[in-house]
């Protein structure tokens, strides 16, 4: 299950999260400047995503410890309009390729603050779907792409562990409803999930570590 893109968050929520990603051709060759990345993040991203990428706003994704290739892809697609979000489209518009690389690698170097599941009843359903999918409806296990502990696979699938449940719900719903269209895989998976299942998976993801 290639979310989160939940997650991400957010976000920004973003962050939640939640889609398959590919490393950007131009970004791969650029050497990140972490000092410039911190400066850019502090000037543009901090209000929504927190000083170290650990957003405390549930609808904005946590970016800390996210795979930099995933973040670069999302910023590139926000700038190009492939992923639509009124706030993020405007924030990404003036960023150069180098800015995106610097920001992504800086925030990915920050340690993510663990989250927690809140609904004991829903979290059991969420765990079942995340780890085993729903075979009779051909819904794959999220763990297959995002790993059992939500760490994801660098340059392919985003980290989901500890992502805000609210952000993950928003992104899964956007994928399901065709609002977010920058991951064919996630659109196909989310299309099969109902509201309760989306909430359950998102709550389980929030407590993964």
Residue 88: pLDDT band with limits 50, 70, 90: very high
Q: CA 21 to CA 4: how far, in whole Å?
A: 10
Q: What are the structural domain ranges in the chain?
A: 1-209
| pLDDT tens digits, one per residue of 100-123 | 999 999 999 999 999 999 998 899
Q: Is the pLDDT of residue 7 over 80?
A: no
For domain 1-209, which architecture applies?
Answer: Orthogonal Bundle (1.10)
Q: Cα-atom radius of gyration of the chain, to the nearest Å? A: 15
147-166 mean pLDDT: 96
| Residue pLDDT, tens place only, 167-191 | 999 999 999 999 999 999 999 999 9
Whole-number mean pLDDT of the chain? Answer: 89
pTM, 2 dp: 0.85
- In percent, the amount of the chain with pLDDT more than 70 equals 86
């Amino acid at each position: 299950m290639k979310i989160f893109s939940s997650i991400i968050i957010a976000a920004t929520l973003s962050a939640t999260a939640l889609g398959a990603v590919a490393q950007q051709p131009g970004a791969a060759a650029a050497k990140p400047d972490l000092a410039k990345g911190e400066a850019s993040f502090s000037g543009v991203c901090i209000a929504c995503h927190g000083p170290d990428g650990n957003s405390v706003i549930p609808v904005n994704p946590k970016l800390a410890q996210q795979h930099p290739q995933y973040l670069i892809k999302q910023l590139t697609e926000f700038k190009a309009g492939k992923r639509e979000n009124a706030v993020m489209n405007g924030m990404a518009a003036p960023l150069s390729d180098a800015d995106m690389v610097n920001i992504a690698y800086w925030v990915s170097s920050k340690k993510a603050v663990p989250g927690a599941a809140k609904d004991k009843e829903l979290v059991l359903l969420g765990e079942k779907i995340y780890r085993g999918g729903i075979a009779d409806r051909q819904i794959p296990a999220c763990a297959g792409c995002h790993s059992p502990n939500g760490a994801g696979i660098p340059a392919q699938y985003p980290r989901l562990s500890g992502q805000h449940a609210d952000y993950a719900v928003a992104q899964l719903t956007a994928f399901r409803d065709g609002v977010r269209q920058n991951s064919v895989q996630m659109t196909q998976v989310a299309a099969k999930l109902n509201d309760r299942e989306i909430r359950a998976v998102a709550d389980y993801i929030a407590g993964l570590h």
